[in-house]
Amino acid sequence: MRVAHAAPMVGAFFMLWSGAGAARAEADDLEVLYRAEMEMAAAQLRMKPDQVDDRLALTVVATGVTWQPSAGGVSLFRQGQKHLEYTGWAGRIEGFRAAARGRDARAEFAFALSLVLDPAPDPAIWRNAFAAAARYGDSFDTVLIGIITAPSRVPFLASLQYAAADTLIWRADTRHTQFWLSLVDSRDSYLRSRAIAAIGILAYDPSATGTTSPGTTTSGLLMPVRESPISAMQRRMFEDVLLRASSDRSYRVRAAAALGLGLVGGPDARSKLTRLVRDSSYVVVPGAPAGMRRLVFPVREAAANALKRYGLNVPPSGGDFGDKEFRQAVRGCRDVTKDTAGMRKGVTSKVRFYDGYW
């Protein structure tokens, strides 16, 4: 079942949105930094000027697609067998550092963005690159949204689409509300799940569960979450979107809905979560000892983590199993390990805001 008509339902209401969200406080502006490159973007893309609006122009130059920067003798891009791709992360780390040392702000941002969207294994490097890109505030957000919405004919950007969505969640803010709502009905199941997760984060209510520790957020969330300045009516509207998403055909969207319902709280959310802990979708993941298989139920896990806010501990469904125990554990369930239905072929994300498998 799709999350039907959620964006139209809330569209009229959010025309009355009272400007909630942080005021623009950043002095740095990528449009100023890349003004000259933006003027040439359409020609370099071989597109008509009226096909390249300001956001797309900013996006292609900030990512470096149209001018392919280098720093410290390292090029940001290399030509792969079929298409343009980033240079290996070790080289991009050196390029990022060299650009910073040389005060080359244009190259520094492009290298930092590459390390955010296609990160090295060390989380500290991701945090440093994220901080460097985040100095540009709203402009950084504009680039992330530009990547997600870029036309398919623009080279390279499609490969970054999912990572950009995950990164934007780290910067979840009511300024992005309309954008996330526009993705709630996306045909792309990955983007749909990220929109639902973002809405859950925006709807976070630290006191809704009635537990003795109301400030406790959902277990497994890797990013800090704060209460957004929204009204009770707005939060209820977000909750309705989350409740609809909990019946989505995609397990990714259902897991995201479980995350969000744990954040918004309330009796309806709790009732739905108690159903989601019986969700049938499972994945088999690496890491099990020899002769065993590691089983994870993504939706169940997300719902169980969410229910911890209510003081409820749900016995784990997954774990490491031998063949006989594994067959018993998955009886009547659905293997979604290789399920990429509704997703772009070959597009992945290494950016994580939640430690589940969805």
pLDDT at 219: 77
Q: Is residue 177 part of a domain?
A: no
Q: Is residue 70 part of a domain?
A: yes
Q: What is the mean pLDDT of the chain?
A: 90
Distances (CA, A) of 291 to 321, 323, 324, 328, 330: 9, 8, 11, 16, 17
Written as six digits, the tokens of 118 are 């296609």
- Banded pLDDT at 22 (limits 50, 70, 90): very low
Q: How many domains does the chain have?
A: 1
Q: Is residue 199 part of a domain?
A: no
Written as six digits, the tokens of 315 are 């016995």
pLDDT at 26: 41
Q: Is residue 111 part of a domain?
A: yes
- Could you tell me if residue 185 is left (phi over 0), alpha (psi between -120 and 50 degrees) or otherwise beta? alpha
Q: Which residue has the higher pLDDT, 18 or 108?
A: 108
**Using CA atoms, how far apart are residues 117 and 166, in angstroms rounded to an integer?**
9
Domain boundaries, position 31: 25-171
**Residue 267 class from Cβ within 10 Å (0-12 exposed, 13-18 middle, 19+ buried)?**
exposed
Answer yes or no: is pLDDT of 347 > 80.
Answer: yes
Answer yes or no: is pLDDT of 303 > 70.
Answer: yes
3-state SS of the chain is CCCCCHHHHHHHHHCCCCCCCCCCCCCCCHHHHCHHHHHCHHHHHCCCHHHCCHHHHHHHHHCCCCCCCEECCEECEEECCCCEEECCHHHHHHHHHHHHHCCCHHHHHHHHHHHHHCCCCCHHHHHHHHHHHHCCHHHHHHHHHHHHHCCCCCCCHHHHHHHHHHHHHHCCCHHHHHHHHHHCCCCCHHHHHHHHHHHHHHCCCCCCCCCCCCCCCCCCECCCCCCCCCCHHHHHHHHHHHHHHCCCCCHHHHHHHHHHHHHHCCHHHHHHHHHHCCCCEEEEECCCCCCCEEEECHHHHHHHHHHHHHCCCCCCCCEEECHHHHHHHCCCCEECCCCCCCCCCCCCCCCCCECCCC
Per-residue pLDDT, averaged over 271-292, amounts to: 96
- Banded pLDDT at 220 (limits 50, 70, 90): confident
Answer yes or no: is pLDDT of 19 > 50.
Answer: no
pLDDT at 35: 95
Q: Is residue 101 part of a domain?
A: yes
Q: Is residue 165 part of a domain?
A: yes
Looking only at the bridges linking them, the beta strands covering 281-285 and 334-335 are parallel
Answer yes or no: is pLDDT of 83 > 90.
Answer: no
- Banded pLDDT at 211 (limits 50, 70, 90): low
Q: Is residue 157 part of a domain?
A: yes
Answer yes or no: is pLDDT of 97 > 70.
Answer: yes
* Contacts for 193 with CB less than 8 Å, ≥ 6 apart: 250, 252, 253, 255, 256, 358
Q: What is the pTM of this model?
A: 0.89
**Using CA atoms, how far apart are residues 209 and 68, in angstroms rounded to an integer?**
50
Per-residue pLDDT, averaged over 255-284, amounts to: 95
Q: How many residues does the chain have?
A: 358
pLDDT at 15: 36
pLDDT at 213: 54
**Using CA atoms, how far apart are residues 87 and 76, in angstroms rounded to an integer?**
6
Q: Is residue 237 part of a domain?
A: no
